[in-house]
Structure 1
Amino acid sequence: MKTLIRIIFLVLAIMLMALTIITNADLTATPNQPTTSTEAESEKATKSRFLASRRPLTCDKYPKVCYAKGSAGSDCCKKKCVDLSSDRVNCGRCGKKCKFSELCCKGRNDHVVYSV
């Protein structure tokens, strides 16, 4: 009787391990869907960042970095490229913040309620 219980327990344990392996393989498998260019670029950037030995270019030392394609804006504030015409933290100039009820529109703090 003891050997029968051991055999049943062993079979159940093997089936449980097989089920776990199968479900984990299904979750980690990627579907055959084409990736968008932003996903491919972000994966490439992550891999190349791991192997990069140089420090990234910052706009305080290289101002032309902000004019590159895909940059957040053409102006440099605190070592970051920003768009002074629409950034709520740097509205019109570096460090000029919009209040809670305001939006940055063309470099000016506009009240949302009155501008509608």
Structure 2
Amino acid sequence: MVSLAPFVLKRPWLVKALTPAANWYAGASGYRQLGLRYDDLLEEENEAVQIALKRLSAKESYERVYRIRRSVQCSYTHKLLPKDQWTKPEEDVPYLRNILAQVEAELAEKDALDSMTVIKKH
């Protein structure tokens, strides 16, 4: 997957121009109204995500499970959380993406080492 993030982040004027649209989009997506954080939405079926989830501290893991269960309950009842319980933008910080990047790098290195061929010199 190609990302424009590095291109945008190298240009402060572009970051400043796109930040309001990004904030609007995050608010419109609705996950914060269910008390979730962005990293709660990552696909758990991915091997790297499963490994990263195992590396979370017990507290972070418990809080994640609590947020997900609370949002599922809201979904079942077709209601949103009270506004004071919504995730605020300043609370929506990454807690899993750094670990996930490390795991993906480890898996890529393992894959590269597993597929390495040895060439004998005569």
Structure 1 and Structure 2 fold alike (TM over 0.5): no
Which has the larger strand fraction? 1
Give the alignment's TM-score, normalised by structure 1: 0.22
- Higher CA-based Rg: 1
| Structure number with higher helix proportion | 2
Bigger relative CO (Cα 8 Å, ≥ 6 apart): 2
TM-score by length of 2: 0.22
